[in-house]
Amino acid sequence: MLAKLRRIYWRLLAWVRPESRLLDLVRRKAQALKDELEGKLTDKFVAILFFSMEISFILLASYQRNLRGFRGSYVLCTADRRVAASAVFGNGKMLVKAEAVASPNVTITFKDSAALRRFLFSKDQDILASLLANEVDVDGNLNYIYKLGFMARDLTRRLGIA
C-alpha cells in the first residue's frame, strides 16, 4: 500500500515539476546506486538499480519513452541467490519486487555481484563473452538482456555516473 501511495505521489510530482528539477530529485534518490557503482558492490545492488530505474520511469518522461509499449519481466540473481530482484514492465508501469516473480521472460543468474556489474555496464555489453567466461547463465530471451543493459546505462548516464 505504501509503495502504491509513493508511486501516486511521484506521478503527481511529475505533472507539476519540470523534468530538469525531477532529474535532480532522481539523482538524490539514486545516491545509493551511485555509491554502489563507485564503491564496492554489495548484495543490495540489484534492488537499488531497479528502485532507481522505477523512480526514473515514474518521474522522467524521456526515460518512459524508451519503454513505451514494452512488456516483460526480469529476474536478476547471483548463483548463491544472495542478490535477487525482479522488475515487471507492462501497461505503462514498472513494478519492482524484492523476490523472484513466477514465469519471467528472462532470468539472469550471475556468478557473483562483480560479474553482474561487468555485464550491465560494459561498453559493448558482450553477452557471448560473459557466457563463454561462465560468468552468467541466461534462461529466456536474450533480447530482454540487451534492453535491460540499455536502460541501466541510460540511467547511469542521466545520473552523471558513467
More confident residue, 37 or 70: 70
User: What tens digit of pLDDT does each residue of 23-60 get?
Assistant: 777 777 777 666 665 555 555 677 777 888 888 888 88
Q: Considering only CA atoms, which of 96, 94, 98, 142 is closest in space to residue 119? A: 142
Q: Provide the residue count of the chain.
A: 162
User: What tens digit of pLDDT does each residue of 116-159 get?
Assistant: 767 766 666 666 677 777 888 888 988 888 888 788 888 888 87
Residue 106 banded pLDDT, cuts 50, 70, 90: very high
How far apart CA 49 and CA 113 sit, in angstroms, is 12
Which residue type sits at 30? Answer: A
What is the pTM assigned to this prediction? 0.69
Asked whether the beta carbons of 129 and 161 are under 8 A apart, the reply is: no
